[in-house]
Chains A and B, each alone.
Chain A
């Protein structure tokens, strides 16, 4: 086999192995190992590259942000910032069809500006807003889809662990990458809100849900107490960047 064939086969093999349920790091490592072995017909070379990949690539200074962002996401979600923002948003959107979905998107956008990873936002909002939407008889597929889709915002709106890794790979400035993520992130959030509005307008059966008459309007003091910590956190991080 030529190296090109081995390369294409290994890409296909990675996709197949990952979908079969092999652990992702193991799938990537095993396929790379085997393809280098086949390509050079040299087991020792494959072992040496494995050694280099392990001990040297982990020591990249830029990657230090990843555990810190994960840590911050964990603290922020345990502190309940996500559910606070969500409550405020859902009291604001309560009159619109699918408004609770829009609230999820909006709260996700705000939460994305606090945390850096999509996994953190997905896990927070799957726990906070999916039960709420099911409670108001929204279609489960709609509820889960909104959370899954809008948690992508966590990756685009800065700070973002993914953008840091990307800027390291592409050798670009991290600050520039963050600035470049703001507008697309906001556009994406707006597009999600627009799509939910259109779905509520034209496919109300798919969206489901019943008009929310029993929502209480939050008093201003409570809105302040629920949003100010997040805003403060945002302001501090902007100053530091």
Chain B
């Protein structure tokens, strides 16, 4: 009874976490498109009209952070975070339980690391939120720091949750963990 309600809780949480991760990934991909547009606009404006887009560097830096940290949770979700899984696959062929325990330990370590990131970045965010600090050249183009810190914090927290859910969900079906979510169609 307790076990089944626990499972229901984990399943519900996974659905919620996965949904948020997919949404963040969509936003991150749109930011990549925005980056393409900004760089092209800057190149054309600079080369043909001699009127460079003054905030290009700051906007690009800003979007880099958004791209990396908005897409990270979904990468974690579909098990595409870069790893060399040769050893795990070899072990999994002979001792599936050992491999599954190892995967769980690795995911647990990863979630601890993500918690550390979230803890490290949170005071930065509160400080930037209060001081309204910015980067860039005053009078030309400035961007506030706090959204960057906030995105890193939220992304690290979401990654923690997803890693933890992987640790918990693995006990039920240990075999589907390395299957990529979407196969390439070619």
Chain A residues within 8 Å of B, Cβ to Cβ: 18-26, 29-30, 33, 47-48, 50-51, 54-55, 58-61, 63-64, 67-68, 71, 77-78, 80, 83, 123-124, 127-128, 240
Contacts and interface: CB of A to CB of B under 8 A. Distances in A.
A77 B117 CA distance: 35
B117 A50 contact: yes
Contacts of A59: 61, 64-65, 148
Contacts of A22: 83, 106, 109-110
B125 to A, nearest CB: 10
Interface of B is mostly: helix
Interface of B: 32, 35-36, 39, 43, 57, 60-61, 63-65, 67-69, 81-88, 102-103, 106, 109-110, 113, 116-117, 119-121, 124, 148-149, 152, 184, 186
A51 B121 contact: yes
Given A63-B64, A64-B60, 5 more contacts: A20-B102, A22-B106, A47-B119, A51-B121, A55-B152
Contacts, number: 103
Contacts of A58: 64-65, 68-69
Nearest to B110: A26
Interface centre among A22, A23, A77 (most CB of B within 10 A): A23
Interface of A is mostly: helix
Interface centre among B110, B116, B120, B124 (most CB of A within 10 A): B120
25 contacts: A20-B87, A20-B88, A20-B102, A22-B106, A23-B82, A23-B106, A24-B82, A26-B81, A26-B106, A30-B109, A33-B116, A47-B119, A55-B152, A58-B64, A58-B68, A58-B69, A59-B64, A61-B60, A61-B61, A64-B61, A67-B32, A68-B32, A83-B186, A128-B186, A240-B43
